Amino acid sequence: MIKTILLFAALAFLSFGNQAQTVTDYDGNEYNTVIIGTQKWFVENLKTTSFNDGVTITNIEDTSWIHLTTPAYAWYDNAISNKNIYGGLYNWYAVNTGKLCPTGWHVPSDANWITLFNSLGGDSVAIKKLKEAGTTHWNNPNYGTNESGFTALPGGFREFAGGEFFGIGNKGAFWSTTVAYPSTAWGIELTTTIHRLSYSWTNGLSVRCLCDTAVSRINEINMYPELRIYPNPAIDKVIIDYSGQSDIKMQVYNMIGELMLQEELHNNNNEIDISTLSTGLYIIKVSGADWTVQKKLIKE
């Protein structure tokens, strides 16, 4: 009997539709989401200027930042042009209100981050799967594949002692809600590796929101770890790498079940042209002689 990773196609489409859910913050900014393991995450860094109850967060551009004991945010280099790409840099006083993410979402704890990394195979493996692929935002070389769909960006951080901005292009720094030592909290720094560091509450770091409710991963059970599909999200091409056998079949469906692409693959590393597809969410189906794997594919 042919082994199928998903229970049936209708459930797959329902699950992937849920995976593509968008969330809107109080300001009206819209965020894509992705399911990784049992967690659902924002795909973009938070960029709200308001708490979820409508209270405005103070924007601090000058060096008074270093003396703050109240919530604040800044755009990297105080440039509004960085908002839509990298989001805001928030101090921990903003994080600690519990109102920074939209209702039903929260800033992750240190344990939440560790769960994420473990679900992707541990720190040394997860770093590549988390980082956005290419050098549009990350400095060269960048070995990120974004297989997870998390799309981690190098938004840098704001330093606590002088209020200066550092690290854009080579470092993503993200808050957790977990206190480390007096006046510090744990954060995650992504470069070529994953670092778990304690940051002063006055640092300005990026924020990724995590759904309050754990999710089912029925649509992501993968009995074939040798199969890799990347980058994802993708712009004009997708690589399908399967070391288990040479002859496999690839199909891409839109969300109403229409077949959009189909190819027979005959080597271990295949480059699929998806430039003709419209932006949106698809199901990519890869089949061998006695197995089938279906996964979401985001076309940007």
Q: Over its length of 300 residues, how does the chain's per-residue pLDDT go in tens digits?
A: 444 433 333 333 333 333 447 999 999 999 999 989 889 999 999 999 999 999 999 999 999 999 999 999 999 999 999 999 999 999 999 999 999 999 999 999 999 999 999 989 999 999 999 999 999 999 999 999 999 999 999 999 999 999 999 999 999 999 999 999 999 999 999 999 999 999 999 999 999 999 998 764 433 334 455 677 888 888 889 888 776 655 788 889 887 778 899 988 876 668 899 999 998 888 888 877 666 777 888 888
d(Cα 153, Cα 242) in Å, to the nearest integer?
A: 27
Q: State residue 290's pLDDT score.
A: 64
Containing 62, the helix (H) or strand (E) segment is none
Peptide bond into 108 cis (omega under 30): no
pLDDT at 228: 79
Rg (CA), the chain: 20
Residue 255, C-beta contacts closer than 8 angstroms, at least 6 positions apart: 13, 16, 17, 280, 281, 282, 283
* pLDDT score at 4: 40
Q: Quick one: tokens of 148?
A: 């997870």
Q: Which amino acid is at 196?
A: R
Per-residue pLDDT, 135: 97
